[in-house]
Amino acid sequence: MPKMKTHKGAAKRFRLTKQGKLMRMKAGGSHLRRKKNSSVISDFRHAVPSEVKANIKLVKAIAGKAAKR
């Protein structure tokens, strides 16, 4: 059976921490920024952990070693 290829879209969007948490960026950070206050815009700059267990399992499977960077 051939090796499973890395899903490049998932590899660019997610990363795994050493503890195994799946980190992602929040959506909507570059859209309609004039209406958002500075604290909300600041929150978009930082990655947040994904809490859904199914997402973690799926991304680990499709992103492969690229997500482990």
Q: For 4-60, what is each residue's pLDDT tens digit?
A: 888 888 888 888 888 878 888 888 888 888 888 989 898 888 888 887 778 778 887
The count of structural domains within the chain is 1
- Which domain range does residue 64 map to? 8-68
Predicted pLDDT of residue 4? 80
pLDDT range class, residue 64, cuts 50, 70, 90: low
Q: Is 47 buried (19+), middle (13-18) or exposed (0-12) by CB count in 10 A?
A: middle
Task: Assess if residue 21 is contained within a domain.
Answer: yes
pLDDT range class, residue 68, cuts 50, 70, 90: low
Residue 67 has pLDDT above 60, yes or no: no
- Coil, strand, or helix at residue 25? coil
Question: Which CATH number covers residue 35?
Answer: 4.10.410
Task: Assess if residue 52 is contained within a domain.
Answer: yes
For 29-58, the DSSP string reads TTSSGGGS-HHHHHHTTS-EE---HHHHHH
Task: Assess if residue 1 is contained within a domain.
Answer: no
Task: Assess if residue 42 is contained within a domain.
Answer: yes
